[in-house]
Amino acid sequence: MTEAKIRIKNLYKIFGKNPSKVLPLVKEGMSKTELLEKYNHVLGIQDVSLDIPEKQIQVVMGLSGSGKSTLIRHINRLIEPTGGEILIDGEDVLAMDEKQLRQMRRTKTAMVFQKFGLLPHRKVKENVAYGLEIQGVDEGKCAERAQHWIERVGLGGYEEHYPGQLSGGMQQRVGLARALATDPEVLLMDEAFSALDPLIRFDMQSILLELQKELNKTIVFITHDLDEALRLGDNIAILRDGAMIQQGDAQEIVLRPADSYIADFTKDINRGKVIRLRSLATPNAAFKGETLNGDTKLEDALAILAHAQDQTVGVARRDGSLAGTVNLTQAISALHS
Amino acid sequence: MELFEEFPALGRKTLSSTKKAIDETFKGFSREYGQALEDFFDPLLRFLVWFEKLLLATPWPIILVIVGALAWLGSRSWKITVGSVVAFVGIGVLGMWEDTMATLAIISVATFLCILLGIPIGIFMARSDRAQSIITPVLDVMQTIPSFVYLIPVVMLLGIGKVPGLLAVCIYAIPPIVRLTNLGIRLVDKDVLEAADAFGASPKQKLLGVQVPLALPNIFAGINQTIMMALSMVVIASMIGVKGLGVPVLRAISNQYLALGLMNGLAIVALAIIFDRVSQSYGKRLQAYRKGLGND
């Protein structure tokens, strides 16, 4: 596992008049409801720790009110935490003064918003150049790099339009281009595709995955949509009521849900598309038959399994060595557990 | 019983001596500082006089061309442009050219002053809730107190003339621009501001790059209101020695000259309509981006 790019340690956020006074109570285990009833404070984030690895997509998932948008705003300190630590590249974000913080926001992080957050009085090209302009990059270079990213997100020809003249999907492409134009190491995406209709959302996910293949940014992606989480996330963390209830890759979430809440969540998804053979392999060093790549999706493996000798195939690790075997019965039961 | 029939006011002696004391203090103050204040406002007076002379010395055809050009630049509408020029021609034909130029001069200078002071005050108000809670009641007083009441101290301090007139106009006309600047900045979409924050914009970059541009339509509505209110003060200002269209109106009131009053009154209305239409359509053009598919 790569070194954590972003470390969140024991983060707490309490909203109310005097959050630091009630923080010890929460640490001693007071519940969200009790806190609200007795002290009129709202518990936003409760003891969340998360290591976000470099150059991967970390999805944070939860329903509305679970604190996921609050969490992502702590990473670039748009929201001040009540307690805990946030480190980016080992640097303490909370210790930064205003100037250092601005510098970090200008160069290291960039953000894409659910409601786009575009500047309505600026044309597409000026919106995309916004981050660069804030940095003080000279005009010619701004325009050149803005143009590059406008083309990359497929908005060539719309440079002179105002955001209000574009559809939601196109506006979010502007948002994405604006975030990428500053060449940040960390991309924070707050429900970036949630406001878009399903087909456009799928397109945008494809664009993001395609860009990520080449750019290798550290991406924190917030969503309430499990399909989106499973499609995009190298790692997924699930929040409920401000607390972290499970983290792991898609396989773990689907095959070993931490509690009934998550099990409910994952009930309706197409498991054949999420589960990969490597998660099902049982060690069998003696196996000599047909071998499939461990990243093969279950739905693709079924047909092969059905015709394989003894209805069993070997599963190869990424380095080519044998991880074990899977038989058809195991595969089918994995689809329906 | 007597207590309930008549309000227990302070005695007449006490009251009159209090009033006298206040008057004396103020008179003392104006004797002491009147000259200094006059000197302070001297540059303003000179500017106003210079501008009025400039308008009067400029040949009328050139003024007509300038009026037409400004109307066109502001509104991009032939109707408004032609209407403005025709109105000025009418004013000239009816012999009110000089008074109109004088009024134009004081209105322009007053509006300029109001913008110069009002927008920064409005911005300051938008940034601090405490400033807003202090300035709002002051603006309320400025708008509701009868203008004659604050004419008294202004005249006591500065005497009769252009500068006190200008101040009276400004006191009455500045509240809308302050209020609407404040409102416009406070109404800027929080999501847009958050985005600016997330990209590391400094407070100054946020103010000049996001807040003021997005508040501009409201600020413009404020400027428009300020001009209208300044025009409505023309007659009162003429009572303390400001030349212009107000003077004949005053004369008409005291002598019951119906036609004179009507003509000059209508000239003021014509100016108001021209200013209003031009500045409003300019304000609308400022927010063209808010409309869906535009013309580009």
Q: What is the pLDDT of residues B24-41, one digit of tens each?
A: 999 998 888 888 888 999
Amino acid residing at A117? G
Binary contact (B198, A110; C-beta < 8 A): yes
Q: Which residues of B touch A118 (CB under 8 A)?
A: 192, 195
Binary contact (B214, A120; C-beta < 8 A): yes
Judged by CB atoms within 8 Å, which residues 211-230 of B form the interface with A?
213-214
Interval A297-317: pLDDT, tens: 888 888 888 888 888 888 888
Buried/exposed A221-238: b ≥16 CB within 10 Å, e otherwise: bbbebbbbbbbbbebbbb
Which of the 8 DSSP states describes residue B201?
Answer: -
Closest CA relative to residue A253, chosen from A234, A66, A326: A234
**B133: closest CA of chain A, how far (Å):** 22
Q: Which residues of B touch A111 (CB under 8 A)?
A: 195, 198-199
Structure tokens at B238: 């003429």
Q: Is residue A241 scored above 60 in pLDDT? A: yes
Question: If residue A276 lies in a helix (H) or strand (E), which one and from where to where?
Answer: none
Work out how many CB contacts closer than 8 A connect A with B.
Answer: 76
Which of B192, B197, B199, B295 is the best residue to mutate to test the A interface, defined by the most A CB atoms within 10 Å of its own CB?
Answer: B199
**Confidence class for position B290, pLDDT limits 50, 70, 90:** low
Structure tokens at A289: 């038959």
Q: Is residue B293 scored above 50 in pLDDT? A: no
Any B CB within 8 A of A164 CB: yes
Question: Starting at the edge strand that comes first in sequence, how are the strands of the sheet with A57-61 ordered?
Answer: A91-92, A83-88, A4-15, A42-53, A243-248, A235-240, A57-61, A218-223, A186-190, A109-112
Binary contact (A110, B205; C-beta < 8 A): no
User: With the C-alpha atoms ordered A297, A298, A303, A305, is the resulting torsion angle positive or negative?
Assistant: positive
Q: Among the ranges A19-33, A45-59, A276-290, which has the highest mean pLDDT value? A: A45-59
Buried/exposed A146-165: b ≥16 CB within 10 Å, e otherwise: bbebbebbebeebbebbbbb
Tell me the pairing of strands A109-112 and A186-190. Answer: parallel
Q: Cα separation of B205 and B40, whole Å?
A: 34
Q: Among the ranges A228-242, A255-269, B104-118, which has the highest mean pLDDT value? A: B104-118
CB burial of residue A57 (10 Å; 0-12, 13-18, 19+): buried
Q: Is residue A35 scored above 70 in pLDDT? A: yes
Closest CA relative to residue A256, chosen from A279, A235, A278: A279
What pLDDT sits at residue B291? 59
Q: Name residue, tokens 């009033």.
A: B19
What pLDDT sits at residue A1? 47
What pLDDT sits at residue B194? 94
Binary contact (A119, B210; C-beta < 8 A): yes
Structure tokens at A179: 């975030």
Amino acid residing at A285? A
Neighbouring residues of B228: CB distance < 8 A, sequence distance ≥ 6: B272, B275, B276
> Can you say whether residue A89 is alpha, beta or left, with left for phi > 0 and alpha for psi between -120 and 50 degrees?
left
